[in-house]
Homo-oligomer: A and B are copies of this chain.
Amino acid sequence: MKKDFIFDVLKNTPNSLTAEEIYNDVSQKVKINLSTVYRTLNNLVEKEIVTKVVRQDKIAYYELADENSNNKYYMICDVCNNAFPTDILDVNKLTRKIKRETGFNITSQTLEFHGICPECTKKSKI
């Protein structure tokens, strides 16, 4: 099943990927159609095996769901466009605080920080 190929790519990549990136990767191993990638991804998201996050570029990014990890929160560099995970924020703690103080039951959350990473900041000064 092609699902396994898609799952494998996700498992072997530390950061999140777009459907197209996954498609390109899997295509090198098997013949596969982009819509199959999307369909499979949607299934995995439904089963809560994969997390989908839409970023400001309007593209969906996928990665393996990882219960106890804040790795899904990124700082995205405007220059090199790399996404760096941040663990500065304890999101679970924040979620509980919100629940306590506002009564709002958070089921999912998205954080997206845009800026310029240290590397690119350095380069721009040269």
The chain A residues found within 8 Å of chain B, CB to CB, are 53-58, 75, 77-78, 84, 86, 88-89, 94-95, 97-98, 101-118, 121
Contact = CB atoms under 8 A, between A and B. Distances in A.
Given A54-B57, A86-B98, A111-B111, 13 more contacts: A54-B55, A84-B104, A88-B97, A88-B101, A103-B117, A104-B116, A106-B113, A106-B115, A108-B115, A110-B110, A110-B111, A110-B114, A111-B112
Cβ-closest 3 pairs across A and B: A103-B118, A106-B115, A110-B112
Nearest to A56: B54
A81 to B, nearest CB: 14
B105 A121 contact: yes
Contacts of A84: 102, 104
A115 B58 CA distance: 21
Nearest to A124: B105
A102 B9 CA distance: 29
A56 B53 contact: yes
